Amino acid sequence: MLLLYFSLFFDIIFLIFSLVLLLKKSPAKKANSLLAITFMLMSACGFWLTFLNYAMVVQSHNLLTYYYPFSLIIVMFIGPSIYFYVRQLFGYSDSFFKSYVWAHALPALPAIIFFLYFSTLTANERVIWLIEDYEMVRWQEYAINIFFYIQLTCYIVFCMYMVEKQLKRSRYLVFDNKQIDILWLRYFFGISMLAFVIKTIVCVLINSDRVNTLIGLFLMDVIFLYFFIQSIWKTGLSTQTYIELPKVQTPSLKITGEVTDSYIKTLLSVIEQNRIYLSPDCTIEEVAENCNIPRHHLSHILNSNLQKSFSDFINEYRIKHACELLKDGRMAHLTIEALGQECGFGSKASFNRAFKKHTGSTPSEYKQKLRL
């Protein structure tokens, strides 16, 4: 009984935390919303399983008549919601109306079919089923549980792959002059995988709904607690809170207006003629060398005269080139990732972010508008 109260307490805490993620303003609002949905699903599952176990502990047949296996359906959406959260955080654009998004709901069909079948039973038959299942799970639920283990394992592996791929490029995601550290995701998914493997082994060896539920609730709370602590320690509210990058103080330069105008004219001429921006390794040092302008002078005129950072300046040209390619019918076969690489971006995520910043829409949305 103590474990049930413990689980109930944390279900309430994490439900509140989910609401904070939903209501909190953030440039990563969509990603945070998906994360909040994930936590809400897990909290809902925790509440419902706590109700089942309480009814079993107090041996209340009356309470058991109100129980239906919603939890089997709920857990099938936890993996997809985490997966799309990571994709959204890394800059992928997934429309809710796309068929491939809805395809991720297909694994829930067996659980939905079982739910409908269970609902057709009489109240007395449902109670008997639950009591027998509490000690030894019937083959129908056992098969759904195994299917769930396989499904969630696949999603965790996919997420770990995306995180490791991003970490090879950088442990930070940068938005304008702000950044977030994503290293915590490696540990989060690592702990989740370990906890899930332990739960799977125990529940396969001990085919009891009582053991399955109690271990599931406990490990769920441990994972939630880890995330909660990470959030509080790192940013105060959410690991997706954006942290201001330290501003680099540069000494003031005294460059005459005539020299500045000459620098700007040379810079624009070299950039437009040589198209250095198409190289993913384009750096301010390379541009300064090509323009025969001292690096600190180039940095100064970009910040003071053009009011742009070097990355924004280069990305403007890249996005302009991308828009031209999108309008060119011969480039229609290119994927968004290939288009980004063609324009000098190192990843699809950075291309999506820069494109949306400079045009107000993602490359996919812009491409769709051109077809109208």
pTM (2 decimals)? 0.62
Which phi and psi angles does 172 have, rounded to 5°? -120, 145
Tokens of 292: 């025969």
Confidence at residue 236, expressed as pLDDT on a 0 to 100 scale = 47
Confidence at residue 208, expressed as pLDDT on a 0 to 100 scale = 66
Confidence at residue 109, expressed as pLDDT on a 0 to 100 scale = 93
Confidence at residue 353, expressed as pLDDT on a 0 to 100 scale = 85
All residue ranges of the chain with pLDDT < 70 are 1-7, 25-28, 93, 169, 173-179, 203-204, 207-214, 216-217, 220-221, 224, 227-256, 329-332, 371-372
| Residue 274 CB neighbours (<10 A) | 13
- Residue pLDDT, tens place only, 303-333: 888 888 888 889 999 999 888 888 876 666 7
Show the CA angle centred on residue 264, arms to residues 263 and 267, nearest 5°.
85
For residue 131, give the nearest of 69, 207, 210 by alpha carbon: 210
What length does the chain have? Answer: 372
- Residue pLDDT, tens place only, 35-91: 788 878 878 887 888 888 788 888 888 999 999 988 889 889 988 988 888 888 777
Rounded CA-CA distance 107/97 in Å is 18
Confidence at residue 248, expressed as pLDDT on a 0 to 100 scale = 47
Which phi and psi angles does 181 have, rounded to 5°? -90, 125
Confidence at residue 119, expressed as pLDDT on a 0 to 100 scale = 92
Specify the residue for token string 């299917």.
147
Confidence at residue 8, expressed as pLDDT on a 0 to 100 scale = 75
Confidence at residue 261, expressed as pLDDT on a 0 to 100 scale = 84
Confidence at residue 231, expressed as pLDDT on a 0 to 100 scale = 57
Tokens of 57: 């502990």
- Residue 320: CB partners within 8 Å, gap ≥ 6? none
Residue pair 270/276 in contact by the 8 Å Cβ criterion = yes
